Structure 1
Amino acid sequence: MLSTLKPTISQAIMTIMLTVGITNHVFIIPAILQSALRDAWVAVLLSGIPFAIYTGLLIYISSHTRNMRLHEWLEVYFGKIPSYVFRVIFTLFFFTVAWFSLFDTVMWTKVSFMPFTPVIVTSLTLMILCFSASRAGIRSITFTAGLLLPLVIVLGFYVGIVNIEQKDYNQLFPIFENGWMPILRGGLYSCTGLFELSFLLFLQPHLAKPLKKRHYLFLFVIMLGLTLGPLTGSIAEFNPFEAATQRYPAYEEWRIAGFGKYISQTDFFSTYQWLSGTCTRISLALFFAADMWKFKMPKQRSYFLLCLAILLVPLGSYALNDMTFLQLSMDYIFPGNLILLTAFALMFSLSIFISTLKKGSSIHDS
C-alpha cells in the first residue's frame, strides 16, 4: 500500500532544491565568476527579472496541465507528431543533464580527494546507485531527497557562518567596474541554472496534489539564494580575481572551514552535500527520460534505464581536461540549455493559449 502513495508537495520541493540547487550552488558559479568577476552577484540579482517572468510562465503552464504529463497534453491537443518531437528532444536533454552532472562530479572527486582512483570506478559506482534509484521510481527518489536535504541545509549554514571571520564584504564593491556587458553575460549563465525550475512541471504529474503559485514563488526565492550565497561568500573570502580562477569555489570555502580548536578542516562534509545533490539530480534526470515513453512492461522501462546508465559510464569517464570541460560548458552546454528551456516555456505557453482559444471558439460555435 505504501508503494502506491504519491510523493507530497513538500517532498517535491525538497527534491527540486537538491536537483536544481547543485547547479545553482556549484556547477554554474565558476561561469558567472569568470564572466562578471566582482559584479557576479549583481548579475545574479539582475537575472531575477527574467527569472520572475519565467516563473510566471511556469505557473501558467502548471495551472493548465495539472496532472497530465506534458507530452500527453501535447498529444491530446496537437497530435502525435509534436508530442513525439517533444519526447525525443527532452529525452536527449535529460540524458545530457545526467552526463554533465556525472562528469563534473567524477572530475571533482579525482581532483579533490581521490586522485589515484580510476575515474571509471567512480563513474560506475555512481551510476549503479543512480540507476537503482531511478528504477525504484519517483517515490523512492523524493523520499530519499527528503531525508538528505535537512543535513545539506545545516551544513550550508555551518560553512557560511564558520567562515565569517575570513570574509571581507568590501570585496563586493565597487560595482559596474567593467560596464554592463560582463554583468549581462554572467546573468545569462545565472538564468541557465535558475530556469531549471521547469523540472517541477515534469515532476507535477506524479504528485499527490497539484502545485500552487506559492510553491513556485517559494522556490523562486530559494533558487536565487542558493546562487547568491556561495557566490558572495567566494568573493568576500578569496577576492573576485582569485575566486574566478578556482574550478570549484563552493568547495574551496569548505577547505578553510574548521571545527573548534582541534579540527582544522571539515571539507569532508562537502562530499555529503555534493553527492546528495548529484545523485538526486542524475536519478531524477534518468527517471524523466524514461517517463517520456510508454512501456508496455515494467521490464522494458528497466532495460531502457539500464541502457542509459551503461552509456553514461564511459561518457562520465572520458579523459577530457577539466578546464576544457568548463570552457565547453560556458561556450555550448549552458547557452544551449538556456535556449532550450526558454523556448520550451514560451512555446508551451503559446500552445496552451492557442488551445484555450480553440476551446473557446468551439464552445461559442456550439
Structure 2
Amino acid sequence: MAMLQIRINVIQTMLMFNLAIGITNHVIIVPLILQSAYRDSWISALLAIPPVIVWTIAVYWIMKLTGQQSLFRWFKRHYNAAVAWLVVLPLILLCMMILFVTVRDTTIWTKVTYLPKTPYPVTSALFVVSGMAAAAAGLRTIAIAAGVLLPAVIVFGLFVMFVNFQFKDYSYLLPLFANDTASILRGTQYTLGGLVEFILLLGLQQHLSKRFRLPALLLLTLAVTGLVFGPILASITIFGPYEAADQRYPAFEQWRMVLLGKFISHLDFLSIYQWLSGALIRVALAFYLLFDLLHLTGRRLRLPLMAVAGCLLVVIASHAKLSDQLFFHFIGRYYFPIVMAFFYAFPFALLLLIIPKRGSAHESQTSAA
C-alpha cells in the first residue's frame, strides 16, 4: 500500500474533482445558500459564474507559467524554501479543514438518516479508515475509483430529477429578487466558497501526465458550478423557498419524494451511494494531498503519521460537545466565508510572484542568446 508516484491524465483528474468538489456544491453548501437567499438562491448561484470564470483563468495561468511543476519546487528554485513553504501552507491547512468538515458533516447525516443508533466514533472511524486506505493505495487508485463511482452517481441524480418533476411547481421561483441584495450576495459567497476548493488542483498539477487546457479547466469548474443549481431549483420548486430553507439536508429530502406508480417508493437509499461516493473520494484526495504537500512520501514515516492523523480526526469530528447546530454555524459563519475570501485572492497573489520571475528568466535567456 505505497503512495505510488504514478501520473494521471486530465480525464481522470476531471472525474476525481467532479466527485470530490461536487459533493460540497451539491450537498454541503446548499442549505447555507437556501437560508441566505431563499427564493433567490438560484440567482445567487448564477451570479457566481462570472467570478468563477475569471478565477479559473488565473489558476490556468499559474499552471501554464509554472509548467505544471510542483509549486513547492518552483518557488524554492525561484525564491527560497521559506517562500515555498508559505505558498503550500494554505493548501495544507485547506486539506485539514476539508477532512474535518467532510467527516463531521457525513457522520451527522448518517446519524440522523439511516444509522441513528450507531455512535459517532464508530461511523467516523470506518469512514476515515476507508479514506486513508484509498489515499495510501495511491493517486491512481483514487482516480480509478472516481471513474467507477461517478457514472452511477450521475445516473441516480438524473433519475431523481426526472421522477420528481411530478411534484415541482416552478411558480415558486417567482418573483425575482424577492430578497435584498446582501442576502443574494451572501448566497453567492457560499457558492464561491465551495468552488475555490479547485485550488487543490495546483497542489496536484505535478502528477498530471498532460497539460490542462483552458477549455477543459473551464468545463470542469462550470460543470461543478452547475451542480449547485440542481438541488436548489428542486428544493424550491418541490417544497417552496421557506420549507426548503428549514431543511438541514434538502438534497436528501428530495429522494424521499421519489414515487413510481403506487407501489415503488423509499428509494432514498440510492442517495447513500451518491453521498458516500463523493465523500470517500473527497477524504481520500485530501489525505493524499496533505501528505504529498508535506513531502511525507516515505512508507515507514507516512503510514504511522497517517494513522495518528486519522485518530485525531475521528476524535475531533466525533466530539460530543460539537452539536450539529454549532457545526452548521461554524461552516456558515466562518469556514466558507474565510475560504472564499482567502482562496479567491490566492491565485492572483501567486501570479504577482510568478510573473516577475518568468519575465526575468525570459530576459536572461534572450541576453544569453
- Give the TM-score of the pair, scaled to structure 2: 0.95
For each residue in 1:68-119, what CA deviation from the matched residue of structure 2 results, as whole angstroms up to 9, or x when unmatched? Answer: 1112211111110011223333222201111100000000000111111101
Question: CA deviation digits over 1:12-55, x for unaligned, max 9?
Answer: 10000000000000001011111111111001101111111101
The Cα of 1:224 is off from its aligned counterpart by 1.8
Unaligned runs of 5+ in 2: none
Partner of 2:330: 328
Taking the TM superposition and a 5 Å limit, the aligned residue runs for 1:160-179 are 160-179=161-180
**Residue in structure 1 matched with residue 285 of structure 2 by the alignment:** 284
Compared CA separation, residues 53 and 76, structure 1 to 2 (3 A): same
The count of residues paired between Structure 1 and Structure 2 equals 364
- 8 A contact 2:235–2:241 mirrored in 1: yes
Aligned residue runs from structure 1 range 106-255, under 5 A:
106-255=107-256
2:61 pairs with 1:94: no
Q: Indicate yes or no: 2:366 matched with 1:343.
A: no
For residues 41 and 297 of structure 2, the distance between their equivalents in structure 1, rounded to whole angstroms, comes to: 49
Question: Once the 2 structures are TM-superposed, how far is the Cα of residue 233 of structure 1 from its aligned partner?
Answer: 0.7
Q: In the alignment, is the contact (CA less than 8 A) between 1:51 and 1:191 conserved in 2? A: yes
**Unaligned residue ranges in structure 1 (runs of 5+):** none
Hey, what's the Cα distance between the residues in 1 that align with 2:10 and 2:110?
33
Matched, 1:78 2:98: no
Give me the whole-angstrom Cα distance separating, in 2, the residues matched to 1:248 and 1:286. 26
RMSD of aligned Cα (Å) = 1.5
- State the partner residue of 1:354: 356
Of 56-65 and 123-132, the range deviating more from structure 2: 56-65
What does the per-residue CA deviation read over 1:305-342, in whole Å, with 9 as the maximum and x for residues that have no partner? 22221111111211222122111111111111112212
Tell me, in whole angstroms, the C-alpha distance in 1 between the residues paired with 2:233 and 2:123.
Answer: 31
Give the Cα separation in 2 of the matches to 1:253 and 1:26.
12
How far apart, CA to CA, are the structure 2 residues paired with 1:284 and 1:66? 22
| Identity percentage of aligned residues | 37
Say whether the 8 Å CA contact 1:259–1:265 is kept in structure 2: no
Query: Quick one: structure 1 residues 87 and 55, their matched pair in 2 at CA, closer, same or farther if it must change by over 3 Å?
Result: closer
3-state DSSP of counterpart to 2:115: coil
CA distance in 2, matches of 1:89, 1:201: 12
Cα pair distance change 1:111/1:296, threshold 3 Å: closer
Q: Work out the CA distance in 2 between the residues paired with 1:96 and 1:155.
A: 29
User: Do the aligned residues in 2 keep the contact of 1:7 with 1:142 (CA within 8 Å)?
Assistant: yes
Whole-Å separation in 1 of the counterparts to 2:341 and 2:235: 28
User: Which deviates more, 283-292 or 68-77?
Assistant: 68-77
Matched residue SS, 2:206: helix
Greater shift after overlay, 337-346 or 180-189? 337-346
CA separation of 1:214 and 1:316: change in aligned 2, threshold 3 A: same
Give, in whole Å, the separation in 1 of the partners of 2:297 and 2:155.
43
SS in 2 for 1:275: helix
One-letter identity of the residue aligned with 2:115: M
| CA distance in 2: counterparts of 1:301 and 1:356, whole angstroms | 34
Higher mean Cα deviation, 200-209 or 307-316? Answer: 200-209
- Give the partner amino acid of 2:16: T
Change (3 A) 1:364 1:209: closer
- Quick check: 33-42 or 259-268, which moved more? 259-268
CA contact (8 A) 1:35 1:182 kept: yes
Aligned equivalents of 2:307, 2:79: Cα separation in 1: 32
In the aligned structure 1, how far is the partner of 2:353 from the partner of 2:178? 43
